[in-house]
Amino acid sequence: MRTPSDPAIRYSTVAIWFHWTIALLVIANLVIGIFHDAIGLMPAHKAIGLTVLALTAARIAWRLVHRPPPLPAHIGGAERMAAHAVHWALYILMVALPVTGWLMVSGSATRRPLTWFGLFDLPYLPVGPAAGGFGHESHEVLGWVMLALVVIHVAAALRHRLILRDGVLARMAPAFDRTPHDPG
């Protein structure tokens, strides 16, 4: 019987690092994006978004070369399809959100500074106001979709950890005890 400590069913250390780094950045950016008027961290929001874009590109390249472990056999077809759909939607959003934000900033009539945490300037995309308007509307809608998918993803992970206790979360969470437990 395979356990979560079995390397054949665990994600690689690099994949785990990408997952948790990007997850924390995405959650931070969702908070900043939702409460941007109150907390005023829009320059950080932009820098974090472009960092997510760069890390996601690297993560996708890593994933193309390093296959993820298969889902456990006990996961049924509908749940398997839902898991894959949510994962791919998250990948798409981790690219689309930063790109639409970049479009919004680049196509704005009054451009604000675009820097990476104040360390260096980032280029604007060569677009006009129409692309900026599209970026603004898309960015807002996609942000809410991202929030919904993050909630679904976290709820599913917690279901596997707390209700099913099947080791699925342990495949991606290095801090969890990976040894099998005797339920008795």
* pLDDT single digits (tens) 114-161: 999 999 999 999 999 999 999 999 999 999 999 999 999 999 999 999
pLDDT band at residue 167 using 50, 70 and 90 as cut-offs:
confident
111-141 b/e (C-beta count within 10 Å ≥ 16 → b): eeebeeeeeeeeeeeebeeebbeebbebbee
Cα 81 to Cα 85, 86, 112, 154, distances in angstroms: 6, 9, 42, 17
**CA 125, CA 181: separation in Å to the nearest integer?**
53
**CA 80, CA 168: separation in Å to the nearest integer?**
12
**CA 85, CA 117: separation in Å to the nearest integer?**
33
The residue-averaged pLDDT of 32-50 equals 93
- Kindly report the pTM of this predicted structure: 0.88
**CA 113, CA 129: separation in Å to the nearest integer?**
17
Residue whose pair of structure tokens reads 């949510």 in the numeric block: 86
Which residues lie closer than 8 Å to 123 by C-beta, 6 or more apart?
A: 114
According to DSSP, residue 170 is labeled G
Residue whose pair of structure tokens reads 């104040």 in the numeric block: 118
pLDDT tens per residue across span 60-110 = 999 999 999 988 888 999 999 999 999 999 999 999 999 999 999 999 998
SS3 115: strand
Pair 18, 172: CB distance under 8 Å: no
Q: How far apart are the first and last CA of the chain?
A: 18
Residue whose pair of structure tokens reads 């907390």 in the numeric block: 39
